[in-house]
Structures are given as C-alpha cells and as structure tokens.
C-alpha cells in the first residue's frame, strides 16, 4: 500500500472541507459574501450579550504546513483562558476506522467500471503522482478519491512528515492543559456529506477536479496565502479565480451540504455549551465566513465579536 494511504482518514476528510471546496466554489459566485465586518482575522473573541464570560472562535486550516502548525501566542493564550475546547470532530481510533471503511466500495463495484475508460485513465494519471497504484484506486468511491486528490501532493507530503494537522495539534495542546474536549460533529456525520451525494454527482465532482487539477492546486496555494495573512475576505475571493458555470447547480447542492447546513448545525450545537462561556472553539476557517457563517450568526445573536488575531 502506498505510504500516502497511511494518513489518518479523518484528517483527509477535513481537508475536503477546506481545500477540496476550492474547485467547488467556482460557480458559487457571491453566495458566500459577507458585509465586510469580519474580513480580517482568524481568532475572534465572543462576548455574550448578557455580559457573561467570553469565549473564543478560531478558524483553522486542516493541513500540516509548518507555517499553519506554528500556533500563535494569541491562540495559545485564548486556549489557556478557556475551560472547554470544542472542535469539529474529536479524534479517536474508532472514528478513523469508520471513515476508512466508508471511503471504499464494499458492494462488489469498482471505480474503473463506474468512471468509464476515458475518465478512469485521466484519474489514474493524477492518482499516480500521489503514489497510488491502479488496484488501490479501483477500490475508492468517487468521493473518497476526491477527498484525497483535492490536496496538492506537496501538502500531502507535509502531512506524512508531521503526522498531524492543525486541529490535531490544538487537541493535543488542550488535552495536556486538562481542558474538557467536545466535538460538534461525528466523523460519520461528516462522511454523510459526501457519501449521501448521488454517485453521478460524485463522479461529476471528481471529473472537474481531475480535469482542472493544476488550477485547483494553484487555488489551494492562493487560499493558503490568504489564510496565513488572516484574510477571510481573500479566502472567499478565491471563488472568483475559478469559473465553471456548467457545474453551478451541482456546486450549489454540494455547498449547501458542505457548509450552509453544517454552519447551522454547529451554531445550534454550541448553544448549550455557551451558557457558562469559557469556550475555545476551533473549526475550519470557511465556517466563519459568509452571510450564514458562524461570525455572522454570533453577531446576530447579540454577541460582541472582536478580532484578536
């Protein structure tokens, strides 16, 4: 088995939440626009309307780039000042096994047959650059391979070298500090975002990625640059760099599952945890953005939302 496949499946799944969406943002246009109040910053202080204890909201990027893994002092201080650390998913061996099992066909089908000869050859050519052999690629569901190939090879190598992504590093720091760790989603719920897509949609997304791999990787690097600059508006602007109007309806369906629905669920699940304040919340930075993103939701609920970093 290729060494790339020894990556933790949960880490790969998270990557599609931030990196794979680059290609999919193409036809979303201004649907994720925000009003300018929250254009700059990754770490935000949330002061409740009743004057209670503040919490903190951090936008993460689910990768192992050394620049991303260099946790700023402001983030460590916010974590230290909090009692509870909340993440998208709490890592566990059981969750990882569940994710791994769902990424592959188990009903006798194989990807070569589902894609057809031409798309199969294109897909194998891209997968080969990741060290994946044809027999292994054949076992993947379309969405499973989409998650893997959406990440540039260089970033995948960085993940292999470090063995962690930023969210994992923060969970480890929180555990050492004795914080109460809680998850907003289960890995199974995140999987369903992809696994419940009709297979024709999965194949269409994979085709778009394979046919535009170079553009996707360039967009990934642009988004990484904006992330390092703490530029949330820039992250959203990446959508303007990719144009694929033929996929507009598909993108809209996928983004509703990937972001809009999950933003609402995350905010609802945070409510009982916020009663006493003192939360450190870390989720993918894309969930902070947009008219229905977490920052706008907190502001709409009466919180004073202030950029800290």
Mean pLDDT score, 4-11: 48
Mean pLDDT score, 107-131: 97
Tell me what pLDDT residue 247 has.
66
Using a pLDDT cut of 90, give the percent of the chain over it. Answer: 57
Mean pLDDT score, 261-274: 96
The DSSP H or E segment spanning 167 is helix 166-176
| Under 8 Å between Cβ of 58 and 85 | no
Per-residue pLDDT tens over the stretch 61-99: 988 899 999 999 999 999 999 999 999 999 877 767 777
Tell me what pLDDT residue 69 has.
94
| Average pLDDT value for the chain | 85
Per-residue pLDDT tens over the stretch 217-232: 888 888 899 999 999 9
Q: Of 257, 273, 200, which Cα lies nearest the Cα of 53?
A: 273
Most confident of 87-91, 183-187, 209-213, 295-299: 295-299
- Estimate to the nearest angstrom the gap between the alpha carbon of 23 and the chain centroid: 13
Tell me what pLDDT residue 270 has.
98
Per-residue pLDDT tens over the stretch 36-69: 889 999 999 999 999 999 999 999 998 889 999 9
Tell me what pLDDT residue 20 has.
45
Q: Of 248, 221, 245, 247, which Cα lies nearest the Cα of 234?
A: 221
Tell me what pLDDT residue 117 has.
97
Mean pLDDT score, 267-275: 97
Per-residue pLDDT tens over the stretch 141-150: 999 999 889 8
Measured CA to CA, the distance from residue 286 to residue 290 in angstroms comes to: 8
Tell me what pLDDT residue 62 has.
87
Tell me what pLDDT residue 110 has.
98
Mean pLDDT score, 114-133: 97
pLDDT of 35 over the 70 cut: no
Tell me what pLDDT residue 79 has.
98
- Cα atoms in the 13 Å half-sphere on the side-chain side of 61: 31
Mean pLDDT score, 177-203: 91
Higher pLDDT, 185 or 239: 185
Interior/surface letters 143-182, b for 16+ CB within 10 angstroms, e for the rest: bbbbbbbbbbeebbebbeeeebbbbbbbbebbeeeebeee
Per-residue pLDDT tens over the stretch 246-261: 566 777 777 788 888 9
Structure tokens at 250: 């598909």
pLDDT of 190 over the 50 cut: yes
Measured CA to CA, the distance from residue 54 to residue 303 in angstroms comes to: 9
End-to-end CA distance of the chain: 41
Tell me what pLDDT residue 133 has.
96
Measured CA to CA, the distance from residue 59 to residue 226 in angstroms comes to: 12
């Amino acid at each position: 088995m290729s060494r790339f496949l020894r990556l933790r499946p949960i880490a790969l799944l998270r990557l599609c939440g931030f990196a794979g969406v680059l290609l999919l943002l193409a036809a979303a246009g201004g649907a994720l626009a925000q009003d300018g109040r929250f254009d700059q910053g990754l770490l935000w202080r949330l002061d409740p309307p009743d004057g209670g204890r503040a919490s903190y909201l951090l936008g993460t990027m689910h990768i192992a780039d050394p620049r991303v893994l260099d946790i700023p002092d402001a983030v460590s201080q916010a974590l230290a000042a909090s009692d509870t650390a909340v993440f998208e998913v709490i890592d566990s061996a059981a969750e990882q096994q569940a994710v791994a099992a769902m990424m592959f066909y188990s009903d006798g089908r194989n990807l070569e047959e589902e894609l057809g000869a031409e798309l199969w050859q294109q897909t194998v050519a891209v997968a080969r650059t990741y060290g994946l052999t044809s027999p292994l690629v054949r076992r993947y569901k379309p969405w499973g391979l989409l998650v893997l190939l959406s990440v540039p090879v260089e970033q995948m190598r960085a993940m292999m070298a470090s063995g962690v992504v930023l969210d994992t590093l923060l969970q480890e720091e929180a555990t050492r500090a004795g914080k109460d760790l809680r998850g907003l989603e289960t890995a199974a719920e995140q999987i369903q975002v992809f696994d419940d897509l009709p297979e024709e949609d999965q194949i269409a997304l994979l085709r778009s990625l394979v046919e535009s791999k170079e553009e996707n990787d360039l967009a990934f690097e642009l988004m990484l640059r904006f992330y390092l600059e703490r530029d949330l508006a820039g992250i959203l602007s990446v959508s303007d760099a990719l144009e694929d109007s033929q996929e507009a309806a598909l993108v809209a369906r996928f983004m509703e599952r990937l972001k809009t629905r999950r933003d609402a669920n995350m905010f609802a699940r945070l409510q009982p945890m916020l009663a006493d304040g003192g939360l450190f919340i870390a989720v993918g930075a894309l969930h902070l953005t947009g008219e229905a993103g977490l920052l706008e939701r907190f502001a709409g609920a009466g919180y004073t939302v202030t950029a800290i970093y």
